[in-house]
Amino acid sequence: MGQHAMPVDKNIYSIPNLLSLLRLALVPVLAVAACLNEAKLFLLLLGISLVSDMLDGYFARKLHQVTEFGARLDSWADMATYAMMILGLNLIWPVIFEQQLIYLVAATLSYILPVIVALIRFSSFPSYHTWGAKLAAVLIAPAFYLLILYDEQAFFRLVIIFHVVVAVEEIAITFMLKQPRTNVASILTILSSSDHKSS
């Protein structure tokens, strides 16, 4: 277990954590913008949130501030932000919401099911941040904006399908682990490590 242990936050208010906290702080503001049907404000705030999501991981690695608390905070901010994206679609762009409803349900399940499985197995929130999850997080921003601004449905749907694949990998990782972990690169990492149940 020692070789996978992550450092405890000596400074909770590190740059990466502050960026994650910013995203959490933007969640209620996004909700208000969606309820008021303020499309431009919603897209602007969402853009700030999504950019900060990319920056917090970069700074965490660059400043050697990758911690278990930071990983979990990032995951909470991710889920809350994605929930606001769906809320915004529903309230501001209801026609698009109806068109993409099946894919939005799939996206929601891809976030919820890995959490449920991890909570049942480890009583712990999963924060694997796999390479697949990182790529999916990068792709969802342009997919969302292209859908809203240019009605580009095919790319959006492909990205959602990719999110589902990522969710399946995360669930598999949870079942293969002996104990909870954060920041797992991929299922291949588990297969080659002592955390694999069969090893």
| Distance from C-alpha of 113 to C-alpha of 120, rounded to nearest angstrom | 11
- CA dist 132 and 66 (Å) reads 18
- Domains of the chain are 2-191 (1.20.120)
8 Å CB contact between 77 and 53? yes
Residue pair 68/6 in contact by the 8 Å Cβ criterion: yes
Element spanning 45, H or E: helix 39-62
pLDDT in tens, 37-93: 999 999 999 999 999 988 887 787 787 777 878 888 888 999 999 999 999 999 999
pLDDT digits 0-9 by tens, 79-94:
999 999 999 999 999 9
What is the token pair recorded at 42?
């919603």
Burial of 39 (0-12, 13-18, 19+ CB in 10 A): middle
How confident is the model at residue 3, as a pLDDT? Answer: 42
pLDDT tier at 196, thresholds 50, 70, 90: low
Task: Determine the pLDDT at residue 4.
Answer: 46
State how far the Cα of 166 lies from the Cα of 100, in Å rounded to an integer: 19
Strand partners, 182: 127
Q: What is the pLDDT of residue 67?
A: 80
How far apart, in whole angstroms, are the C-alpha atoms of residue 142 and residue 179? 35
Given a cut of 50, is residue 168 above it in pLDDT? yes
Q: What confidence tier does 140 reach under pLDDT thresholds 50, 70, 90?
A: very high
> CA end-to-end span of the chain, whole Å?
14
Task: Report in angstroms the alpha-carbon separations of 60 from 20, 41, 53.
Answer: 11, 28, 11
